[in-house]
Chains A and B, each alone.
Chain A
Amino acid sequence: MKDTPLSNCERQFLLKAVEEKKRVDGRQTYDYRNIKITFGTEYGCCIVDLGKTRILAQVSCELVPPKDSRPTEGILFFNLELSPMASPAFELGRQSELLVKLNRQLERCLRNSKCIDTESLCVISGEKVWQIRVDVHVLNHDGNLMDAASIAAIAALSHFRRPEVAIQGRDITVFTPEERDPIPLSIYHMPICVSFAFFQQGTYLLVDPCEREERVMDGLLVIAMNKHREICSIQSSGGIMLLKEQVLRCSKIASVKVSEITELINKALDNDKRARKEGGKFGFAESMPKERITALKKDEAPVEMTDVQDTANEIISRTEAQPDIVKVPSPVVPAPGTGQVGEGLLNTWGLEEEEDEEEEQHEKEEMSTGEVMVLSDSEEDDVVILNPDANKPKRLEGGSKKGVEAPKKQKTSH
């Protein structure tokens, strides 16, 4: 499927609006869209809505042998996927440039910044460590995938709890969540990406570009920062040239935004923890808005079962098998290891011209002789089944046009 291309007048409209410091959705230049974070029932599942962009992140863990170069550290694995749902341009199985770029940026932001303590993931040094796998799915693409993906990933990692293990010598017992409470990962800091879109060779900038703005921008600057004002990674793409003051200005804006977003994530985590402790309902089912006109919810309801038994019995009795077809056709065994049943359509490997009854009689006669059996007398084909023990090759059907008297030697299925 192809994405609809951007028309020239739309492009000019957007660029003109940027020059006048106006945005299509009414935001200011430094405003972020509304961020909504919801967690699921299982630990480590998180959906982030950045305006209309929606991203799902899931964290899972597994015990694996560690890498040879780092026997005492756990493994972090990131996988970002652009679901075909997100945009008609995303196709399944295609490694597009955007996908590679987002994956690399996410890895740099979360793995190289060492925000997660991998040493604590080691169980038995050199033999078994935890592998933490983060799968990020992009569900709706309305711009600024990088920011939303980083928020989703770090929120999911903070929400995740891994099972507790007990080590006795070389044996490892993994406890289920019912036996012992799972423990959270140790996270040092939360790096969050902030994206800046540049227009007109760096003259104008916008924070958190939406999809239309991303299409007409000249270049993108992504700064990953945590709330302690430490820069974790900077990436500039698009080939625009920026001045030192511009980059410093962006980093100042980024630090303000990052502290706001980090507070939002922590608040969401606290709400979720409180809901779980008090036994209230949590998860995606609860977070569905009830007051919207497009949403509807129905409570648990029993299914009416008044005459189900009778209906079922009636159907069975009505369609009882006819008793006169009790006799099951008996199979024919022309040779040890081969059998045939049924008189329906015979196969076309040999062009049979004789009647079926003749063949069957032949088979019954020759069953006891053992060595060579001719299944059909037709001139066209030469159906021969040889005794497998005599180590002669088997040949099921011939196809020769001329009549053949002696069996031809041919290798069969191997």
Chain B
Amino acid sequence: MEVELCPILRSFGSEQNVLSRPDGSASFVQGDTSVLAGVYGPAEVKVSKEIYDRATLEVVIQPKVGLPSVRERAREQCIRETCEAALLSTLHPRSSLTLILQVVHDDGSLLACYLNAACMALIDAGLPMSSLFCGITCAINTEGQIITDPSVQQEKESRALLTFAIDSVERKVMMSSTKGSFSVKELQQCIAVSQKASEEIFQFYRDSVKRRYSKIM
């Protein structure tokens, strides 16, 4: 099946240090999807939750309407394991790191936006990390085209939706969450597309941090 590839990334932007109370905070906007992330840590941890040789990371996702459901818990697990792999948590034993994500508006590729906002908030908090990560969502529509960063309308019309977290050191896949069925070839193509798209996002991270500290350095 010949696949026509013409994916684009929607315009994205971010703001760091948005909130005054959390140790690190960032807002990430992809097209119309907007997520706010706040990080507290390293802080005191409850004795029941403490781990003797590393920091305890807790991720909380707050939906806009209603109480958090099973879907949010599954997403929390994905994001938590991704962050744990990237953070150097052994540098802060017996302490807690709390990451709170609040969706402000959902217009597609929400999980990817969560990951990007989380990474920017962790950078803003100054937590030591072994690598950065970014989230990319690919949608495969009924004709077999791969669309990156789909909007809600495009997500509804697609037959498969794949979200990957790519790490910055070797561009390998850290996390993957998929919906719908697809062939092996389509999967490998989506991974290759995500790896290419992640270059843009990592360059963006670099530019924002450089801009932020431009007056100091």
Using a CB–CB distance below 8 Å, which chain A residues touch chain B?
1-2, 40-42, 45, 47, 52, 54, 56, 58, 60, 81, 83-88, 92, 133, 135, 137, 139-142, 283-285, 288-289, 292-305, 308-309, 311-313, 315-316
Contacts and interface: CB of A to CB of B under 8 A. Distances in A.
B11 A300 contact: yes
A97 to B, nearest CB: 19
Interface in B14-37: 14-22, 25, 27, 29, 31-32, 34, 36
A303 B197 contact: yes
A46 B171 CA distance: 38
A294 B212 contact: yes
Contact of B34 (A87, A285, A292, A316): A285
B11 A297 contact: yes
B85 interface: no
Interface stretch (B60-68, B126-134, B154-162): B60-68
A303 B29 CA distance: 18
Nearest to B209: A296
Contact of A296 (B14, B17, B184): B14
Contacts of B197: 303
A305 B13 contact: no
A81 B62 contact: yes
Contact of A283 (B102, B105, B207): B105
B109 interface: no
Interface of B: 3, 5-22, 25, 27, 29, 31-32, 34, 36, 38, 40, 43-44, 60, 62, 64-66, 96, 98, 100, 102, 104-105, 107, 148, 184-185, 188-189, 191-193, 196-197, 200, 204, 207-208, 211-212, 214-215
B34 A58 contact: no
A141 B21 contact: yes
A308 B196 contact: yes
A139 B107 CA distance: 21
B14 A295 contact: yes
Given A41-B107, A295-B14, A312 B188 contact: yes
Top 8 A-B pairs, shortest CB-CB distance? A297-B13, A85-B38, A312-B188, A295-B15, A85-B100, A140-B19, A296-B208, A312-B189
14 contacts: A52-B20, A84-B60, A84-B98, A137-B64, A288-B29, A294-B15, A295-B14, A298-B11, A298-B12, A302-B9, A303-B7, A308-B189, A312-B188, A316-B188
Contacts of A56: 64, 102, 104
Nearest to A292: B15
B15 A303 contact: no
A167 B178 CA distance: 41
B32 A142 contact: no
Contact of A308 (B36, B43, B193): B193
B96 A294 contact: no
B20 A142 contact: yes
A179 to B, nearest CB: 16
Contacts of B100: 83-85
B96 A1 contact: yes
B104 A284 contact: yes
Given A298-B13, A303-B7, 8 more contacts: A2-B44, A47-B104, A88-B21, A296-B211, A302-B8, A303-B196, A308-B192, A309-B3
A251 B156 CA distance: 52
Given A47-B104, A297-B13, A303 B200 contact: yes
A175 B66 CA distance: 24
